[in-house]
Amino acid sequence: MPALTRSLPAVSKHAVMIVGVLVTIFPFVWVAMMGTHTRSEIYSSPPPFYFGDNLISNYERLLEIMPFWLVLWNSLYVSVLGTIGAVFFCSMCAYGFFAYQFRGKNVIFGIMIASMMVPPVLTLIPFFLTVRFLGILDTHFALWFPGVANAFGIFLIRQYMTTSITRDLLDAAKVDGASDFRIYWSVVLPLIKPALATLAIVMFIGLWNNFLTPLIVLSTPEKYVLTLALRSVQSLANSPWGAIMLGTFLSMVPLLVAFLFFSKQMMAGLTAGAVKG
Amino acid sequence: MASVELKDLTKSFGDLTVLHNLNLTVEEGEFVALVGPSGCGKSTLLRIIAGLEEPTSGDLTMDGQWVNDLSPRERNIAMVFQSYALYPHMTVADNMGFNLRISGMGKAEIKQRVEETAEILNLSELMSRKPSQLSGGQRQRVAMGRALVRNPDVFLFDEPLSNLDAKLRVQMREEIKRLHKRVRTTSIYVTHDQIEAMTLADRIVILHGGHIQQVGTPTELYRNPANVFVAGFIGSPSMNFLDATLSTGGDRATLSLKDGQTLHCPLSDRLPAETEVTVGLRPEHLLVAPSGANDNVLHGTLELLEPTGAQNHLRVSINGSTLTAVDNTLASVTVDQPVALTIEPEKIHVFAR
């Protein structure tokens, strides 16, 4: 009995965590299972909670209702370009705020932070009008480019710089003869890798899951990204849910893979400010 | 190697002027220390010489060339920072070779120069380590190596030893001195530690409130301080000061203290013109007076006796002021009893108040 009392906190802790994990992964498993059933099986009662044997036919149906691999490529293209662009431009802009003294620096930074408070939905119409004015409507460029210098990324990286880079280090590089860009590239960038990884993964997920921007920007089906393509086939009278679920599951795979590779850096980036000794 | 010259150099941050019309020449190959209390502007001056700050007005020349507008690299200076400022993501070898790489030197030559420098500083074993895997003293040596490897015209040191413990500091001080003897590069060294400045420098520049108080060799500053600030700053324990009235009748000057006791010192042109003066007495020049002595003797009460082994530090109360005396003879004196101190007339300093 005393042994049980002693181990109770640990047991309950584990129980809570296991429940948390189950709740988190349930939708993924559920979607994966649905991807192997036919539409009628999915609508049967109770719904089947096991893997079925219609994977191949669902896959064939998926390719019939949308150019799945083209759409996946479009998503990947937009997300990768947007992520690389954001990591590059946000870190450069953050470096500017971190390393240089200029008139109005704090005011500009303040306005930038304030812009993060504006609900994205409010900017939807202005965004559409701007994109149309620039003549980039119905292009992938309009999906990834506007976000490459975003307030969140600049803020995140600048804050990380202030905790991990000393002014002496910049001065030392200057005395060593490094140009401003060289200091940014050879000294600053390698030291903010965790923050870059965090921003990269946040940007990638954001771009990959983005539905609203493609919805208002894209009109040609060949240019659709996954979110838009999966939604567009649902409007059919007889939605092939098995195929859609399979497509949904396949669209999650790149994110899971990315997380497997970057999770360590991401955690390091998110906790760096908190635990620095 | 290059000489460095400041002409009417002034630096202000907004309304606050931190350096006032400084004039100074550092000769080729010379080791000059800039000393002063915190906030006296010594680090700012060093940063201006380095090219990391711009002077508000005045000229900075190196080897006669006007360098105000040149970048640190174009001035060919190297700097050792208080925090060492090593690049944490690079190995010792990369840290040392970074500036050579920037200047476009070939890989083989970089390797050779880095290895040569590492040998001078005993770093050869540590070349593949990262700064976080080094001790404080080793980091300090890497920082010096990084400066040394490029063969600069001028070496700048910004309190390079202040992050080390006392023992290591003495050791590194010796290494810096030995290194300077070997390479003879013009060096400017900022410190707030007067002992460091005295032991290392050929000449010392004392800064206070953005003004140069005095420039001279360590011995000159110790023997002939220009004012009360320099007198109090140089020497340890620091100089005792007493208010006195100066009269110059006869063949010697008489200094009358407030309580009527008098001291005599030789007449010289160094004596101030005023009659109200401050008398400076170095603790190591104050001796316990033998009984019966009556010339240049100050009578007081022994407040505190601090034995340090080789010498005793006496805290003597004289008419409301407390004087420190360093007694090398370990004379037997008793706390709270009268004690008499004497000083040679030539060793009395007199300053205008």
User: Rounded distance, CA B66 to CA B56, Å?
Assistant: 15
User: Rounded distance, CA A5 to CA B30, Å?
Assistant: 76
pLDDT of A16 = 95
pLDDT of B339 = 92
C-alpha of A110 from chain center: 25
| Higher local confidence (pLDDT), A275 or B322 | B322
pLDDT in tens, A231-247: 888 865 678 888 889 99
Contact map slice: A 181-200 vs B, CB within 8 A: 182, 186-187, 190-191
pLDDT in tens, B40-86: 999 999 999 999 999 999 999 999 999 999 998 899 999 999 999 99
pLDDT in tens, B257-283: 988 899 999 888 888 888 899 999 999
User: Rounded distance, CA A244 to CA A252, Å?
Assistant: 12
Is A214 inside any structural domain?
A: yes
Beta-sheet pairing, B186-191 with B31-35? parallel
The tens-digit pLDDT sequence of chain A (277 residues) is: 567 778 888 889 999 999 999 999 999 999 999 889 888 888 888 888 888 888 898 899 888 888 999 999 999 999 999 999 999 999 999 999 999 999 999 999 999 999 999 998 898 999 999 999 999 999 999 999 998 999 999 999 999 999 989 999 999 999 999 999 999 999 999 999 888 988 988 899 899 999 999 999 999 989 999 999 988 888 656 788 888 899 999 888 888 887 787 777 667 666 654 443 3
The shortest C-alpha distance from A264 to chain B (Å) reads 18
pLDDT of A83 = 95
Smallest CA-to-CA distance from B2 within B72, B75, B74 is with B75
| Sequence-ordered list of residues with C-beta below 8 angstroms from that of A42, at least 6 positions apart, any chain | A34, A48, A241, A242, A245
Q: Are B170 and B195 in contact (CB under 8 A)?
A: no
Mutation for B interface: A165, A176, A191, most B CBs within 10 A: A176
Q: Does A168 touch chain B (CB under 8 A)?
A: yes
Asked if B89 lies within 8 A of A190 by C-beta distance, the reply is yes
Beta-sheet pairing, B211-216 with B203-208? antiparallel
Asked if A169 lies within 8 A of B77 by C-beta distance, the reply is no
The shortest C-alpha distance from A191 to chain B (Å) reads 7
Name the residue facing B102 among A172, A177, A190 (closest C-beta): A177
Asked if B81 lies within 8 A of A172 by C-beta distance, the reply is yes
pLDDT of A273 = 46
Amino acid symbol at B322: T
pLDDT of A236 = 59
Q: What is the largest CA-CA distance in chain A?
A: 74
pLDDT of A274 = 44
C-alpha of B225 from chain center: 13
Smallest CA-to-CA distance from B33 within B256, B198, B166, B160 is with B198
Bond prior to B290 in cis (omega within 30° of 0) = no
- The CATH number that applies at residue A128 is 1.10.3720.10
Q: Does B104 touch chain A (CB under 8 A)?
A: no
Q: What is the largest CA-CA distance in chain B?
A: 78
SS3 content of chain A, % helix, strand, coil (to 5): 80, 0, 20
User: Rounded distance, CA B34 to CA B159, Å?
Assistant: 10
Helix (H, G, I), strand (E, B) or coil at A211: coil
pLDDT in tens, B114-156: 999 999 888 999 999 999 999 988 998 999 999 989 889 999 9
Contact map slice: B 116-175 vs A, CB within 8 A: 146
User: Tokens representing B183?
Assistant: 């390479």
* Beta pairing partners, B110: none
Q: What is the dihedral of CA B322, B324, B330, B336, to 10 degrees?
A: 10
Q: Does A163 touch chain B (CB under 8 A)?
A: no
| C-alpha to C-alpha distances, A216 to A107, A224, B57, nearest whole angstrom | 33, 11, 58
In the β-sheet with B57-62, what is the strand arrangement from edge to edge? B16-26, B4-13, B57-62, B65-66
| Sequence-ordered list of residues with C-beta below 8 angstroms from that of A262, at least 6 positions apart, any chain | A197, A200, A201
Q: Are B104 and B183 in contact (CB under 8 A)?
A: no
- Report the number of distinct structural domains present in chain A: 1
A208: containing domain: 64-275
Count Cβ–Cβ pairs < 8 Å, chain A vs chain B: 53
Which CATH code for domain B237-352?
A: 2.40.50.140
Name the residue facing B52 among A169, A174, A176 (closest C-beta): A174
pLDDT in tens, B177-195: 998 998 899 999 999 998 9
User: Rounded distance, CA B26 to CA B264, Å?
Assistant: 39
The shortest C-alpha distance from B99 to chain A (Å) reads 5
Instruction: Report the sign of the C-alpha dihedral through residues A202, A204, A207, A208, in that order.
Output: negative
User: Tokens representing B225?
Assistant: 């301080």
Q: Does A106 touch chain B (CB under 8 A)?
A: no
In three-state form (DSSP H/G/I as H, E/B as E, the rest C), the secondary structure along chain B is CCCEEEEEEEEEECCEEEEEEEEEEECCCCEEEEECCCCCCHHHHHHHHHCCCCCCEEEEEECCEECCCCCHHHHCEEEECCCCCCCCCCCHHHHHHHHHHHCCCCHHHHHHHHHHHHHHCCCHHHCCCCHHHCCHHHHHHHHHHHHHCCCCCEEEEECCCCCCCHHHHHHHHHHHHHHHHHHCCEEEEEECCHHHHHHHCCEEEEEECCEEEEEECHHHHHHCCCCHHHHHHCCCCCCEEEEEEEECCCCEEEEEECCCCEEEEECCCCCCCCCEEEEEECHHHCEECCCCCCCCEEEEEEEEEEECCCCEEEEEEECCEEEEEEECCCCCCCCCCEEEEECCHHHCEEEEC
| C-alpha to C-alpha distances, B99 to A183, B73, B79, B114, B130, nearest whole angstrom | 11, 9, 12, 11, 17
User: Rounded distance, CA A94 to CA A172, Å?
Assistant: 20
Residue entry with tokens 């019939």: A64
pLDDT of A270 = 60
Smallest CA-to-CA distance from B77 within B92, B60, B59, B56 is with B60
Q: How many CB atoms lie within 10 A of CB A147?
A: 20
Q: Which residue does chain A place closest to B47, by CA atoms?
A: A171
Mutation for B interface: A175, A193, A276, most B CBs within 10 A: A175
Bond prior to B72 in cis (omega within 30° of 0) = no
Are both B4-232 and B237-352 of the same fold?
no
Which stretch of DSSP H or E encloses residue A247?
helix A241-275
Q: Does B85 touch chain A (CB under 8 A)?
A: yes
The full set of domain ranges for chain B reads 4-232, 237-352
Looking at residue A146, the DSSP 8-state letter turns out to be G
**Superfamily per CATH, domain B4-232:** P-loop containing nucleotide triphosphate hydrolases (3.40.50.300)
Q: Are B192 and B179 in contact (CB under 8 A)?
A: no
Is A84 inside any structural domain?
A: yes
The shortest C-alpha distance from A178 to chain B (Å) reads 6
The shortest C-alpha distance from A82 to chain B (Å) reads 27
Smallest CA-to-CA distance from B45 within B143, B142, B159 is with B159
User: Rounded distance, CA A238 to CA A244, Å?
Assistant: 12
Is A95 inside any structural domain?
A: yes
pLDDT of A266 = 65
